[in-house]
Amino acid sequence: MADAVPEVVRLDKISVRFGSFTALDQVSLSVRPGEVHALVGENGAGKSTLMKVLAGMIKPAEGQVLVQGPEGLRAGADLRDTVAMVHQHFQLVDSLTVAENLFLVEAKRARPWLVKRQAIRARATQLLKRFGLGALADVKVAALSTAERQLVEITKATSREAPVLVLDEPTASLGELEADQLFALVRRLKDAGTAVILIAHSLEEVLSVADRISVLRGGRLIATVERERVDRGQLVELIIGRVLSETYPKERPAAAAIRLRADDLLADGKGPGVALELRAHGVTGVPTYVGADTDNLLDRLIGVCPAPGKLTVNGIVQHGAGVRCRVAAGIALVPGDALKEGVVPQLSISDNILLPNARRLSRFGIIDRRAVRRVVDEVVAQLGIRASSPQALAGELSGGNRQKVVLAKWLVSGATVLLMNDPTKAVDVGARLDIYRLIDRAAADGAAILLVSSDVDELIGMCDVVQVLHQSQVVAQHHRPIDKEALLGDVVGSRSSRAARPAHAASSTPG
Protein backbone atom coordinates (compact mmCIF):
# COMPACT_ATOMS: atom_id res chain seq x y z
CA MET A 1 0.00 0.00 0.00
CA ALA A 2 1.15 3.53 -0.77
CA ASP A 3 0.56 4.64 2.85
CA ALA A 4 3.16 2.13 4.06
CA VAL A 5 5.93 3.76 2.01
CA PRO A 6 8.36 5.55 4.37
CA GLU A 7 8.78 9.30 4.20
CA VAL A 8 12.16 10.97 4.00
CA VAL A 9 10.69 14.33 5.05
CA ARG A 10 7.28 15.71 5.98
CA LEU A 11 6.06 19.30 6.03
CA ASP A 12 3.36 19.40 8.71
CA LYS A 13 0.75 22.19 8.73
CA ILE A 14 3.16 24.88 7.54
CA SER A 15 2.01 28.51 7.67
CA VAL A 16 4.13 31.49 6.63
CA ARG A 17 3.14 35.14 6.96
CA PHE A 18 4.81 38.29 5.70
CA GLY A 19 3.15 41.06 7.69
CA SER A 20 -0.58 40.77 7.05
CA PHE A 21 -0.05 38.61 3.94
CA THR A 22 -0.40 34.84 4.35
CA ALA A 23 1.99 33.15 1.91
CA LEU A 24 1.29 29.60 3.13
CA ASP A 25 -1.76 28.41 5.02
CA GLN A 26 -1.60 25.05 6.86
CA VAL A 27 0.22 23.20 4.08
CA SER A 28 1.10 19.54 4.72
CA LEU A 29 3.23 17.57 2.31
CA SER A 30 5.24 14.34 2.48
CA VAL A 31 8.14 13.24 0.30
CA ARG A 32 9.21 9.64 -0.19
CA PRO A 33 12.70 8.33 -0.95
CA GLY A 34 13.21 7.42 -4.60
CA GLU A 35 10.34 9.50 -5.98
CA VAL A 36 10.02 12.59 -8.14
CA HIS A 37 7.44 14.83 -6.46
CA ALA A 38 6.33 17.74 -8.64
CA LEU A 39 5.05 20.98 -7.13
CA VAL A 40 2.87 23.06 -9.46
CA GLY A 41 0.78 26.19 -9.24
CA GLU A 42 0.52 29.71 -10.58
CA ASN A 43 3.14 32.31 -9.70
CA GLY A 44 2.51 33.46 -6.14
CA ALA A 45 0.92 30.14 -5.15
CA GLY A 46 3.64 29.57 -2.53
CA LYS A 47 5.81 26.91 -4.19
CA SER A 48 9.21 28.55 -3.70
CA THR A 49 8.27 29.75 -0.20
CA LEU A 50 7.35 26.21 0.84
CA MET A 51 10.66 24.88 -0.47
CA LYS A 52 12.58 27.60 1.37
CA VAL A 53 10.90 26.39 4.56
CA LEU A 54 11.99 22.85 3.69
CA ALA A 55 15.57 24.02 3.09
CA GLY A 56 15.66 25.89 6.41
CA MET A 57 15.83 29.34 4.79
CA ILE A 58 12.48 30.55 6.17
CA LYS A 59 11.12 29.83 9.63
CA PRO A 60 7.38 29.11 9.51
CA ALA A 61 4.93 30.94 11.76
CA GLU A 62 3.22 27.62 12.41
CA GLY A 63 3.97 23.97 11.71
CA GLN A 64 7.18 21.98 11.54
CA VAL A 65 9.47 20.07 9.21
CA LEU A 66 9.96 16.43 10.20
CA VAL A 67 13.01 14.53 8.94
CA GLN A 68 13.48 10.77 8.87
CA GLY A 69 16.11 9.54 11.31
CA PRO A 70 17.09 6.27 13.03
CA GLU A 71 14.10 6.61 15.34
CA GLY A 72 11.62 7.76 12.72
CA LEU A 73 10.41 11.22 11.77
CA ARG A 74 11.57 13.97 14.10
CA ALA A 75 11.70 17.76 14.20
CA GLY A 76 14.77 19.88 14.86
CA ALA A 77 17.16 18.19 12.40
CA ASP A 78 19.71 20.29 10.50
CA LEU A 79 17.90 20.71 7.20
CA ARG A 80 21.11 21.71 5.42
CA ASP A 81 22.29 18.12 5.71
CA THR A 82 18.99 16.78 4.37
CA VAL A 83 17.99 19.14 1.58
CA ALA A 84 19.98 20.47 -1.39
CA MET A 85 18.20 23.17 -3.37
CA VAL A 86 18.77 24.64 -6.82
CA HIS A 87 17.23 28.12 -6.84
CA GLN A 88 15.70 30.01 -9.74
CA HIS A 89 18.41 32.67 -9.47
CA PHE A 90 22.00 31.53 -9.67
CA GLN A 91 24.16 31.51 -6.54
CA LEU A 92 27.59 31.27 -8.15
CA VAL A 93 30.67 33.47 -7.73
CA ASP A 94 31.62 34.84 -11.15
CA SER A 95 35.28 35.43 -10.26
CA LEU A 96 35.89 31.80 -9.26
CA THR A 97 36.29 28.75 -11.48
CA VAL A 98 33.56 26.16 -11.85
CA ALA A 99 35.51 23.69 -9.67
CA GLU A 100 35.98 26.30 -6.94
CA ASN A 101 32.26 27.09 -6.99
CA LEU A 102 31.31 23.43 -6.68
CA PHE A 103 33.30 22.99 -3.48
CA LEU A 104 33.25 26.53 -2.11
CA VAL A 105 31.55 25.58 1.17
CA GLU A 106 33.98 22.74 1.84
CA ALA A 107 36.96 24.98 1.06
CA LYS A 108 35.70 27.69 3.44
CA ARG A 109 35.35 25.18 6.27
CA ALA A 110 38.86 23.75 5.83
CA ARG A 111 42.15 25.43 6.70
CA PRO A 112 43.81 26.93 3.59
CA TRP A 113 46.78 24.54 3.69
CA LEU A 114 44.43 21.56 3.84
CA VAL A 115 42.55 22.45 0.65
CA LYS A 116 43.64 19.93 -1.99
CA ARG A 117 43.07 21.85 -5.20
CA GLN A 118 43.99 19.02 -7.55
CA ALA A 119 41.59 16.69 -5.76
CA ILE A 120 38.84 19.33 -5.98
CA ARG A 121 39.49 19.78 -9.69
CA ALA A 122 39.44 16.02 -10.34
CA ARG A 123 36.21 15.56 -8.39
CA ALA A 124 34.61 18.54 -10.15
CA THR A 125 35.57 17.18 -13.57
CA GLN A 126 34.01 13.83 -12.70
CA LEU A 127 30.75 15.44 -11.61
CA LEU A 128 30.58 17.79 -14.59
CA LYS A 129 30.99 14.94 -17.07
CA ARG A 130 27.40 13.89 -16.33
CA PHE A 131 26.32 16.92 -18.38
CA GLY A 132 29.19 16.81 -20.86
CA LEU A 133 30.84 19.77 -19.10
CA GLY A 134 34.04 18.09 -17.93
CA ALA A 135 36.19 20.62 -19.79
CA LEU A 136 34.74 23.53 -17.80
CA ALA A 137 36.30 22.75 -14.41
CA ASP A 138 38.97 25.46 -14.77
CA VAL A 139 36.76 28.02 -16.53
CA LYS A 140 35.65 31.14 -14.64
CA VAL A 141 31.89 31.22 -14.07
CA ALA A 142 31.75 34.71 -15.63
CA ALA A 143 32.57 33.12 -19.01
CA LEU A 144 29.70 30.59 -18.93
CA SER A 145 26.43 30.76 -20.83
CA THR A 146 23.15 30.87 -18.93
CA ALA A 147 22.47 27.19 -19.65
CA GLU A 148 25.96 26.21 -18.49
CA ARG A 149 25.49 28.15 -15.24
CA GLN A 150 22.22 26.35 -14.60
CA LEU A 151 23.87 22.97 -15.09
CA VAL A 152 26.74 23.97 -12.78
CA GLU A 153 24.18 24.91 -10.10
CA ILE A 154 22.54 21.50 -10.47
CA THR A 155 25.92 19.77 -10.36
CA LYS A 156 26.80 21.67 -7.18
CA ALA A 157 23.55 20.61 -5.51
CA THR A 158 23.86 16.95 -6.48
CA SER A 159 27.50 16.81 -5.31
CA ARG A 160 26.28 17.00 -1.71
CA GLU A 161 24.41 13.71 -2.11
CA ALA A 162 21.63 14.96 0.16
CA PRO A 163 18.61 12.65 0.50
CA VAL A 164 16.31 15.40 -0.87
CA LEU A 165 17.04 17.51 -3.96
CA VAL A 166 14.82 20.51 -4.78
CA LEU A 167 14.88 21.82 -8.36
CA ASP A 168 13.15 25.20 -8.76
CA GLU A 169 12.34 25.79 -12.45
CA PRO A 170 15.52 23.99 -13.56
CA THR A 171 14.81 23.98 -17.31
CA ALA A 172 13.89 27.67 -17.71
CA SER A 173 17.41 28.43 -18.99
CA LEU A 174 18.08 25.13 -20.74
CA GLY A 175 17.78 24.03 -24.33
CA GLU A 176 16.13 20.77 -25.31
CA LEU A 177 19.37 18.73 -25.19
CA GLU A 178 20.37 20.04 -21.76
CA ALA A 179 16.84 19.47 -20.42
CA ASP A 180 16.95 15.86 -21.64
CA GLN A 181 20.30 15.39 -19.87
CA LEU A 182 18.87 16.88 -16.69
CA PHE A 183 15.86 14.57 -16.63
CA ALA A 184 18.06 11.57 -17.36
CA LEU A 185 20.06 12.53 -14.24
CA VAL A 186 16.84 13.01 -12.25
CA ARG A 187 15.79 9.46 -13.13
CA ARG A 188 19.21 8.11 -12.08
CA LEU A 189 18.98 9.96 -8.75
CA LYS A 190 15.48 8.58 -8.25
CA ASP A 191 16.70 5.05 -8.93
CA ALA A 192 19.48 5.59 -6.37
CA GLY A 193 16.90 6.51 -3.70
CA THR A 194 17.10 10.31 -3.78
CA ALA A 195 13.83 12.19 -3.36
CA VAL A 196 13.57 14.88 -6.04
CA ILE A 197 11.12 17.76 -5.66
CA LEU A 198 10.52 19.49 -8.99
CA ILE A 199 8.95 22.95 -9.25
CA ALA A 200 7.93 23.47 -12.87
CA HIS A 201 5.55 25.45 -15.07
CA SER A 202 5.75 23.00 -17.95
CA LEU A 203 3.02 20.45 -17.34
CA GLU A 204 4.47 18.28 -20.11
CA GLU A 205 7.72 18.00 -18.13
CA VAL A 206 5.80 17.28 -14.93
CA LEU A 207 3.67 14.55 -16.50
CA SER A 208 6.69 12.93 -18.13
CA VAL A 209 8.91 12.64 -15.04
CA ALA A 210 6.87 12.96 -11.81
CA ASP A 211 5.53 10.12 -9.67
CA ARG A 212 3.27 12.36 -7.59
CA ILE A 213 2.07 15.91 -8.17
CA SER A 214 1.02 18.44 -5.52
CA VAL A 215 -0.96 21.53 -6.51
CA LEU A 216 -0.75 24.80 -4.58
CA ARG A 217 -3.17 27.67 -5.09
CA GLY A 218 -3.22 30.87 -3.08
CA GLY A 219 -0.89 29.45 -0.43
CA ARG A 220 -3.00 26.33 0.17
CA LEU A 221 -2.51 22.71 -0.82
CA ILE A 222 -5.31 21.83 -3.23
CA ALA A 223 -4.43 18.21 -3.98
CA THR A 224 -1.69 15.61 -4.16
CA VAL A 225 -2.30 13.11 -6.95
CA GLU A 226 -0.55 10.14 -8.51
CA ARG A 227 0.63 10.99 -12.02
CA GLU A 228 -1.29 8.08 -13.56
CA ARG A 229 -4.59 9.41 -12.18
CA VAL A 230 -4.53 12.88 -13.71
CA ASP A 231 -4.28 14.28 -17.23
CA ARG A 232 -3.14 17.69 -18.39
CA GLY A 233 -6.63 19.19 -18.52
CA GLN A 234 -7.48 18.08 -14.99
CA LEU A 235 -4.15 19.44 -13.75
CA VAL A 236 -4.80 22.82 -15.36
CA GLU A 237 -8.22 23.01 -13.69
CA LEU A 238 -6.68 22.21 -10.29
CA ILE A 239 -4.06 24.92 -10.79
CA ILE A 240 -6.32 27.75 -11.95
CA GLY A 241 -9.38 26.78 -9.91
CA ARG A 242 -11.94 26.76 -12.68
CA VAL A 243 -13.16 24.53 -15.47
CA LEU A 244 -11.12 25.07 -18.60
CA SER A 245 -13.47 25.42 -21.55
CA GLU A 246 -10.94 26.37 -24.23
CA THR A 247 -7.17 26.69 -24.18
CA TYR A 248 -6.92 28.18 -27.64
CA PRO A 249 -9.30 30.50 -29.51
CA LYS A 250 -11.69 28.76 -31.90
CA GLU A 251 -12.23 31.54 -34.42
CA ARG A 252 -10.80 34.89 -35.42
CA PRO A 253 -11.38 37.20 -38.42
CA ALA A 254 -9.90 36.01 -41.70
CA ALA A 255 -6.37 37.22 -42.37
CA ALA A 256 -6.56 40.40 -44.45
CA ALA A 257 -4.11 43.03 -45.74
CA ILE A 258 -0.39 42.30 -45.72
CA ARG A 259 1.22 44.07 -42.77
CA LEU A 260 4.76 42.83 -43.38
CA ARG A 261 6.44 41.23 -46.35
CA ALA A 262 10.06 40.09 -46.37
CA ASP A 263 11.86 38.68 -49.42
CA ASP A 264 15.18 36.81 -49.15
CA LEU A 265 15.41 37.83 -45.50
CA LEU A 266 18.03 35.28 -44.43
CA ALA A 267 19.79 34.99 -47.79
CA ASP A 268 23.41 33.93 -47.32
CA GLY A 269 24.66 33.99 -50.89
CA LYS A 270 24.10 30.25 -51.34
CA GLY A 271 20.46 30.48 -52.30
CA PRO A 272 17.23 32.40 -51.72
CA GLY A 273 16.35 33.31 -48.15
CA VAL A 274 13.06 33.35 -46.30
CA ALA A 275 9.98 34.80 -47.99
CA LEU A 276 7.57 35.84 -45.25
CA GLU A 277 4.12 37.44 -45.27
CA LEU A 278 2.36 38.55 -42.10
CA ARG A 279 -1.27 39.62 -42.53
CA ALA A 280 -3.62 41.69 -40.41
CA HIS A 281 -5.75 39.52 -38.08
CA GLY A 282 -3.39 36.59 -38.70
CA VAL A 283 -0.96 34.58 -36.55
CA THR A 284 1.95 32.96 -38.37
CA GLY A 285 3.97 30.40 -36.43
CA VAL A 286 7.55 29.20 -36.70
CA PRO A 287 8.86 26.26 -34.63
CA THR A 288 12.15 27.01 -32.91
CA TYR A 289 14.88 24.40 -32.64
CA VAL A 290 18.60 24.12 -33.36
CA GLY A 291 19.00 24.75 -37.09
CA ALA A 292 15.84 26.82 -37.52
CA ASP A 293 17.82 30.08 -37.07
CA THR A 294 14.78 31.80 -35.56
CA ASP A 295 16.85 34.18 -33.40
CA ASN A 296 18.57 35.45 -36.54
CA LEU A 297 15.19 35.81 -38.24
CA LEU A 298 13.82 37.95 -35.41
CA ASP A 299 17.01 40.02 -35.12
CA ARG A 300 16.81 40.93 -38.80
CA LEU A 301 13.12 41.74 -38.70
CA ILE A 302 13.50 44.04 -35.69
CA GLY A 303 16.69 45.63 -37.06
CA VAL A 304 19.29 44.36 -34.59
CA CYS A 305 21.46 43.26 -37.53
CA PRO A 306 21.39 44.18 -41.24
CA ALA A 307 18.88 42.30 -43.37
CA PRO A 308 19.45 41.43 -47.03
CA GLY A 309 16.52 41.38 -49.38
CA LYS A 310 13.48 43.62 -49.30
CA LEU A 311 11.29 44.44 -46.30
CA THR A 312 7.90 46.14 -46.65
CA VAL A 313 5.79 47.19 -43.64
CA ASN A 314 2.22 48.45 -44.12
CA GLY A 315 2.92 49.04 -47.81
CA ILE A 316 6.10 51.07 -47.26
CA VAL A 317 9.50 49.70 -48.27
CA GLN A 318 11.90 49.97 -45.34
CA HIS A 319 15.17 51.58 -46.36
CA GLY A 320 16.30 52.52 -42.85
CA ALA A 321 18.22 50.12 -40.64
CA GLY A 322 18.22 49.75 -36.88
CA VAL A 323 15.68 49.03 -34.18
CA ARG A 324 14.48 52.64 -33.95
CA CYS A 325 13.43 52.65 -37.60
CA ARG A 326 11.64 49.32 -37.32
CA VAL A 327 9.74 50.37 -34.19
CA ALA A 328 8.74 53.62 -35.91
CA ALA A 329 7.41 51.53 -38.80
CA GLY A 330 5.14 49.62 -36.41
CA ILE A 331 7.18 46.49 -35.62
CA ALA A 332 7.54 45.35 -31.99
CA LEU A 333 9.40 42.44 -30.41
CA VAL A 334 8.16 40.48 -27.38
CA PRO A 335 11.24 38.51 -26.26
CA GLY A 336 11.26 35.16 -24.51
CA ASP A 337 13.19 36.48 -21.50
CA ALA A 338 11.28 39.61 -20.48
CA LEU A 339 13.52 40.28 -17.47
CA LYS A 340 16.69 40.46 -19.58
CA GLU A 341 15.36 41.85 -22.84
CA GLY A 342 11.81 43.12 -22.46
CA VAL A 343 11.64 45.36 -19.39
CA VAL A 344 13.94 47.56 -17.34
CA PRO A 345 13.66 45.78 -13.97
CA GLN A 346 14.66 48.86 -11.95
CA LEU A 347 11.80 50.91 -13.41
CA SER A 348 8.14 50.76 -12.49
CA ILE A 349 5.43 49.14 -14.58
CA SER A 350 4.24 52.62 -15.52
CA ASP A 351 7.68 53.82 -16.63
CA ASN A 352 8.30 50.66 -18.66
CA ILE A 353 5.05 51.21 -20.54
CA LEU A 354 5.99 54.86 -21.03
CA LEU A 355 9.45 54.18 -22.54
CA PRO A 356 8.42 53.71 -26.21
CA ASN A 357 5.38 55.97 -25.80
CA ALA A 358 6.84 59.15 -24.28
CA ARG A 359 6.25 61.24 -27.42
CA ARG A 360 2.71 59.90 -27.80
CA LEU A 361 1.91 60.84 -24.19
CA SER A 362 3.50 64.29 -24.21
CA ARG A 363 2.20 67.79 -24.86
CA PHE A 364 4.61 70.42 -26.17
CA GLY A 365 7.53 68.20 -25.26
CA ILE A 366 6.40 67.66 -21.66
CA ILE A 367 5.09 64.28 -20.51
CA ASP A 368 1.41 64.49 -19.62
CA ARG A 369 1.40 62.56 -16.33
CA ARG A 370 -2.39 62.57 -16.15
CA ALA A 371 -2.60 60.94 -19.58
CA VAL A 372 0.10 58.45 -18.58
CA ARG A 373 -1.85 57.42 -15.47
CA ARG A 374 -5.06 57.05 -17.46
CA VAL A 375 -3.46 54.95 -20.21
CA VAL A 376 -1.41 52.81 -17.81
CA ASP A 377 -4.34 52.14 -15.48
CA GLU A 378 -6.48 51.14 -18.45
CA VAL A 379 -3.95 48.76 -20.04
CA VAL A 380 -2.96 47.22 -16.68
CA ALA A 381 -6.63 46.43 -16.03
CA GLN A 382 -7.24 45.14 -19.58
CA LEU A 383 -4.23 42.82 -19.52
CA GLY A 384 -4.77 41.65 -15.94
CA ILE A 385 -1.27 42.63 -14.77
CA ARG A 386 -1.07 41.52 -11.14
CA ALA A 387 0.86 43.99 -8.99
CA SER A 388 0.34 46.13 -5.90
CA SER A 389 0.16 49.20 -8.16
CA PRO A 390 1.46 50.48 -11.51
CA GLN A 391 4.38 51.91 -9.52
CA ALA A 392 5.63 48.43 -8.57
CA LEU A 393 9.05 47.61 -10.01
CA ALA A 394 8.96 45.43 -13.12
CA GLY A 395 11.80 43.31 -11.75
CA GLU A 396 9.62 42.23 -8.83
CA LEU A 397 6.86 40.80 -11.03
CA SER A 398 6.32 37.17 -11.95
CA GLY A 399 7.44 35.99 -15.39
CA GLY A 400 3.92 36.05 -16.79
CA ASN A 401 3.22 39.56 -15.54
CA ARG A 402 6.54 40.83 -16.95
CA GLN A 403 5.49 39.47 -20.35
CA LYS A 404 2.19 41.31 -20.00
CA VAL A 405 4.08 44.56 -19.33
CA VAL A 406 6.04 44.06 -22.56
CA LEU A 407 2.80 43.45 -24.44
CA ALA A 408 1.23 46.47 -22.77
CA LYS A 409 3.89 48.93 -23.90
CA TRP A 410 3.65 47.78 -27.51
CA LEU A 411 -0.15 47.69 -27.56
CA VAL A 412 -0.17 51.28 -26.28
CA SER A 413 2.33 52.19 -29.02
CA GLY A 414 -0.08 51.03 -31.70
CA ALA A 415 2.34 48.47 -33.15
CA THR A 416 0.81 46.67 -36.11
CA VAL A 417 3.35 43.81 -36.32
CA LEU A 418 4.14 41.79 -33.18
CA LEU A 419 7.15 39.46 -33.21
CA MET A 420 6.87 37.02 -30.29
CA ASN A 421 9.84 34.85 -29.30
CA ASP A 422 8.63 31.86 -27.25
CA PRO A 423 6.54 34.18 -25.03
CA THR A 424 5.06 31.45 -22.80
CA LYS A 425 8.13 29.28 -22.25
CA ALA A 426 8.85 30.34 -18.67
CA VAL A 427 5.39 31.33 -17.37
CA ASP A 428 2.80 29.46 -15.35
CA VAL A 429 -0.30 27.92 -16.89
CA GLY A 430 -2.63 30.75 -15.81
CA ALA A 431 -0.36 33.42 -17.32
CA ARG A 432 0.00 31.28 -20.45
CA LEU A 433 -3.77 31.30 -20.98
CA ASP A 434 -3.82 35.07 -20.41
CA ILE A 435 -1.10 35.55 -23.04
CA TYR A 436 -3.06 33.43 -25.52
CA ARG A 437 -6.08 35.66 -25.00
CA LEU A 438 -3.95 38.78 -25.49
CA ILE A 439 -2.47 37.41 -28.72
CA ASP A 440 -5.98 36.65 -29.95
CA ARG A 441 -7.20 40.13 -28.98
CA ALA A 442 -4.28 41.80 -30.77
CA ALA A 443 -5.01 39.77 -33.91
CA ALA A 444 -8.71 40.61 -33.70
CA ASP A 445 -7.78 44.30 -33.49
CA GLY A 446 -5.84 44.05 -36.74
CA ALA A 447 -2.27 43.26 -35.74
CA ALA A 448 -0.16 40.75 -37.66
CA ILE A 449 1.67 38.34 -35.37
CA LEU A 450 4.72 36.14 -35.84
CA LEU A 451 4.78 33.51 -33.09
CA VAL A 452 8.10 31.70 -32.70
CA SER A 453 7.59 28.83 -30.26
CA SER A 454 9.17 25.63 -28.97
CA ASP A 455 5.68 24.27 -28.15
CA VAL A 456 4.14 22.46 -31.12
CA ASP A 457 0.69 22.29 -29.50
CA GLU A 458 0.81 26.05 -28.98
CA LEU A 459 1.62 26.61 -32.65
CA ILE A 460 -1.20 24.32 -33.77
CA GLY A 461 -3.71 25.96 -31.41
CA MET A 462 -2.79 29.60 -32.01
CA CYS A 463 -1.64 29.86 -35.62
CA ASP A 464 -3.38 30.21 -38.96
CA VAL A 465 -0.25 29.02 -40.74
CA VAL A 466 3.01 27.44 -39.51
CA GLN A 467 6.23 27.66 -41.51
CA VAL A 468 9.12 25.28 -40.78
CA LEU A 469 12.56 26.83 -41.33
CA HIS A 470 15.85 25.07 -41.91
CA GLN A 471 19.16 26.54 -43.02
CA SER A 472 17.63 29.94 -43.78
CA GLN A 473 14.82 28.57 -45.94
CA VAL A 474 11.15 27.65 -45.55
CA VAL A 475 11.04 23.87 -46.02
CA ALA A 476 7.38 23.25 -45.15
CA GLN A 477 4.16 25.18 -44.65
CA HIS A 478 1.02 24.05 -42.82
CA HIS A 479 -2.36 25.80 -42.83
CA ARG A 480 -5.14 25.53 -40.25
CA PRO A 481 -6.45 22.99 -39.39
CA ILE A 482 -2.91 21.73 -38.83
CA ASP A 483 -2.13 18.04 -38.63
CA LYS A 484 0.19 17.49 -35.66
CA GLU A 485 1.89 14.37 -37.00
CA ALA A 486 2.62 16.04 -40.34
CA LEU A 487 4.04 19.13 -38.62
CA LEU A 488 6.16 17.08 -36.23
CA GLY A 489 7.41 15.02 -39.15
CA ASP A 490 8.64 18.15 -40.91
CA VAL A 491 10.22 19.55 -37.74
CA VAL A 492 12.00 16.29 -36.90
CA GLY A 493 13.02 15.83 -40.52
CA SER A 494 14.48 19.33 -40.67
CA ARG A 495 16.38 18.86 -37.43
CA SER A 496 18.00 15.68 -38.70
CA SER A 497 18.59 16.87 -42.25
CA ARG A 498 21.71 18.71 -43.34
CA ALA A 499 20.25 19.86 -46.60
CA ALA A 500 17.18 22.03 -47.00
CA ARG A 501 14.31 20.55 -48.93
CA PRO A 502 12.09 22.51 -51.30
CA ALA A 503 9.01 24.00 -49.68
CA HIS A 504 5.87 21.95 -50.09
CA ALA A 505 2.24 22.24 -49.18
CA ALA A 506 1.09 20.51 -46.03
CA SER A 507 -1.57 17.84 -45.94
CA SER A 508 -4.15 20.40 -44.87
CA THR A 509 -4.72 23.57 -46.83
CA PRO A 510 -6.91 26.62 -46.24
CA GLY A 511 -10.54 26.09 -46.82
Q: Using CA atoms of 57, 58, 64, 66 in order, give the dihedral in degrees to the nearest 10.
A: -10
- The predicted pLDDT at position 73 comes to 72
CA-derived radius of gyration, the chain: 25
Residue 250 lies in a domain: no
Q: Is the pLDDT of residue 418 over 90?
A: yes
Residue 507 lies in a domain: no
Cis before 112 (ω within 30): no
| pLDDT band for position 2 (cuts 50, 70, 90) | very low
Average pLDDT over residues 111-128: 72
Which among 208, 240, 272 is the end of a domain? 240
Residue 140 lies in a domain: yes
- The predicted pLDDT at position 272 comes to 58
**CA–CA distances in Å: residue 36 to residues 165, 172, 212:** 10, 18, 7
**How many separate domains does the chain show?**
2
Q: Are residues 235 and 333 in the same domain?
A: no
Strands 283-287 and 448-453: parallel
Q: Is the pLDDT of residue 509 over 70?
A: no
Q: Are residues 234 and 262 in the same domain?
A: no
Closest CA to 409 of 434, 380, 368: 380
Q: Is the pLDDT of residue 332 over 50?
A: yes
CATH of the domain at 306: 3.40.50.300
Q: Are residues 215 and 323 in the same domain?
A: no
- The predicted pLDDT at position 43 comes to 78
Q: Are residues 270 and 229 in the same domain?
A: no
Q: Are residues 235 and 107 in the same domain?
A: yes
Q: Are residues 263 and 215 in the same domain?
A: no
d(CA 166, CA 87): 8
Residues 459-471 have pLDDT tens digits of 999 999 999 887 7
pTM: 0.70
- The predicted pLDDT at position 306 comes to 73
Residue 502 lies in a domain: no
Residue 175 lies in a domain: yes
- The predicted pLDDT at position 359 comes to 87
Residue 276 lies in a domain: yes
Q: Are residues 163 and 134 in the same domain?
A: yes
Strand order in the sheet with 212-217: 83-86, 164-168, 195-199, 36-40, 212-217, 220-226
Q: Are residues 289 and 429 in the same domain?
A: yes
Residue 154 lies in a domain: yes
In this structure, what DSSP letter does residue 501 have? P
Average pLDDT over residues 314-325: 84
| pLDDT band for position 113 (cuts 50, 70, 90) | very low
The rounded percent of the chain whose pLDDT value lies above 90 is 31
| pLDDT band for position 26 (cuts 50, 70, 90) | very high
Instruction: For 196, list phi and psi in degrees, rounded to 5.
Output: -115, 125
d(CA 38, CA 47): 10
Query: Which domain range does residue 160 map to?
Result: 2-240
User: When comparing pLDDT for 439 and 290, which is higher?
Assistant: 439
Q: Are residues 355 and 478 in the same domain?
A: yes
Are the CB atoms for 32 and 195 separated by under 8 Å?
yes
Q: Are residues 139 and 233 in the same domain?
A: yes
Q: Are residues 181 and 98 in the same domain?
A: yes
Residue 511 lies in a domain: no
- The predicted pLDDT at position 505 comes to 40
| pLDDT band for position 430 (cuts 50, 70, 90) | confident
Q: Are residues 96 and 32 in the same domain?
A: yes
